[in-house]
Amino acid sequence: MINKTVLELTRGDITEQQTDAIVNTANCQLILGSGVAGAIRAKGGSSIQQQCYEAGETFVGGAVKTTGGNLKAKWVIHAVGPRMGEGDEDNKLRNATLNSLKLADAGKIKSISFPAISTGLFGFPIQRCAKIMLSTVMEYIQGKTGIDKVVFCLFTEADYRVFEQEFNQ
């Protein structure tokens, strides 16, 4: 518990989370390809991709909100994290996390689940990701927010352990 917000770590499939919103690891074109995005498209249905097309594109570090289609979550926040090697990656990941939280607050979303943004195809190191995302969320929820619960949903046991170790520090 930080301020009035619960911060939780869990291992599992983010598409099964029952939070109000889940975060997708998006690309700038908002095309739901593979990994987390592919799972969201497969379980959530084509309406999510259609809304992404309508939204257009966003920048690295940006975030866009769509409905959750057939998912348990009512909303999907598509956050664009950095690709390793493009420069200023830490700041871009921080912004993707922060902009997701701001979108959730603006939409009066009470609970949100994050994956480890950019650690798959984009090649961002999991240890750096855990440190940046956890510190960004902790700092944000210490301020004025309507978010009651933030979940980090890690797909593998190894990723969960990295986030757990960082969280315990």
Please say if the pLDDT value at position 1 is more than 90: no
What average pLDDT score do residues 92-99 get?
Answer: 98
Q: Give the β-pairing of 75-80 and 149-154.
A: unpaired
Residue 23 · residue 71 · CB < 8 Å = no
Residue boundaries of the structural domains of the chain: 6-168
Rounded distance between C-alpha atoms, residue 35 and residue 142, angstroms: 31
Architecture of the domain made up of 6-168: 3-Layer(aba) Sandwich (3.40)
What average pLDDT score do residues 77-93 get?
Answer: 97
Q: What is the pLDDT of residue 85?
A: 96
The overall average pLDDT reported for the chain is 96
Please say if the pLDDT value at position 169 is more than 90: no
- The secondary structure of residue 89, as a DSSP letter, is H
Please say if the pLDDT value at position 34 is more than 90: no
CA proximity to 32, closest of 45, 22, 21, 19:
45
Q: What is the pLDDT of residue 80?
A: 97
Please say if the pLDDT value at position 35 is more than 90: no
- Taking only the tens place, the pLDDT of each residue in 97-156 is 999 999 999 999 999 999 999 999 899 999 999 999 999 999 999 999 999 999 999 999
Contacts of 101 by beta carbon, 8 Å cutoff, 6+ apart: 112, 136, 137, 140, 145, 147, 150
Please say if the pLDDT value at position 92 is more than 90: yes
Percent of the chain with pLDDT over 70: 100
